[in-house]
Amino acid sequence: MRTVDLNEAAVRDLNQALHDQSDECTERDWQVLNPKGAHNLACGLDQNLSVEIQGHAGYFCAGMNKKATVTIEGNVGQGVAENMMSGVVRVKGNASQAAGATAHGGLLVIEGDAGARCGISLKGADIVVKGNVGHMSCFMAQAGSLVVCGDAGDALGDSLYEVHIYVKGEVKSLGADCVKKEMRPEHLEELTELLNRAGIDEDPAAFTRYGSARQLYNFKVDNAAAY
């Protein structure tokens, strides 16, 4: 395992060393010490690396991730795993707002709580949150899944498209065009797989599914005055 101590190295040096592995991978296992809330850690990775960040991270940690497995042993700031394409990002603590924003693929696991707008404009990734999520989570989410083992805040799934949302706890309110839906066998199967991948022991039958009512897909002349 290669260790980088951010008391001695700059974030730019860390990221450059990680990016160099995409051309010729000589070190797959990395450990980052003393992150101290630094921003933009382990961004833009494009190789099957394992990166362990031993502490709290700031904004956009593991953003644009592709192939890599990034584990944060602490809390993260805004936009963790933003625009992720593939791989796995695991947060052992809490995540601030916009976790997994616009993510196209891969798996984001948050073992604590997530703030507002978790999964905003989600485009195909899977997000599993062991705790609660804040308001406007999955706003304009297009594809993928959000699993919440705790509670959800106001306006869950506002203006969503075809994302699948599963919540075990209470939902403060649903956003525009988001409705409660039937949990069919294929959804129980999907949820079971997501929980297993995330390493979270929960009963899939205890969750409620939410999704789009599909009333915002087309322009309706009766609503013209609202535009």
Mean pLDDT of the chain: 96
Quick one: average pLDDT of 193-207? 97
- What is the predicted pLDDT for the residue at 227? 61
pLDDT at 221 exceeding the cut of 90: no
Quick one: average pLDDT of 89-94? 98
Quick one: average pLDDT of 182-209? 97
| pLDDT band per the 50, 70, 90 thresholds, residue 216 | confident
3-class SS shares of the chain: helix, strand, coil, % to 5: 15, 30, 60
Both structure tokens of 220: 């309706």
Quick one: average pLDDT of 221-225? 73
Residues 99-148: tens digit of each pLDDT: 999 999 999 999 999 999 999 999 999 999 999 999 999 999 999 999 99
Q: Which residues are CB-neighbours of 140 under 8 A, at least 6 positions away?
A: 120, 121, 158, 159, 160, 161
**Weakest mean pLDDT among 141-145, 172-176, 184-188, 211-215:** 211-215
Q: Where are the domains of the chain?
A: 2-216
Type of residue numbered 69: T
* DSSP-assigned states of every residue in 206-222: G-EEEEE---SSS--GG
- What is the predicted pLDDT for the residue at 226? 66
Task: Find residue 66's DSSP bridge partners.
Answer: 46
E strand or H helix at 6, and its extent?
Answer: none
pLDDT at 95 exceeding the cut of 70: yes
Residues 137-170: tens digit of each pLDDT: 999 999 999 999 999 999 999 999 999 999 999 9
User: Domain spanning 2-216: which CATH class is it, in words?
Assistant: mainly beta
- What is the predicted pLDDT for the residue at 217? 76
pLDDT at 66 exceeding the cut of 90: yes
Residue bearing tokens 């990775």? 45
Quick one: average pLDDT of 42-65? 97
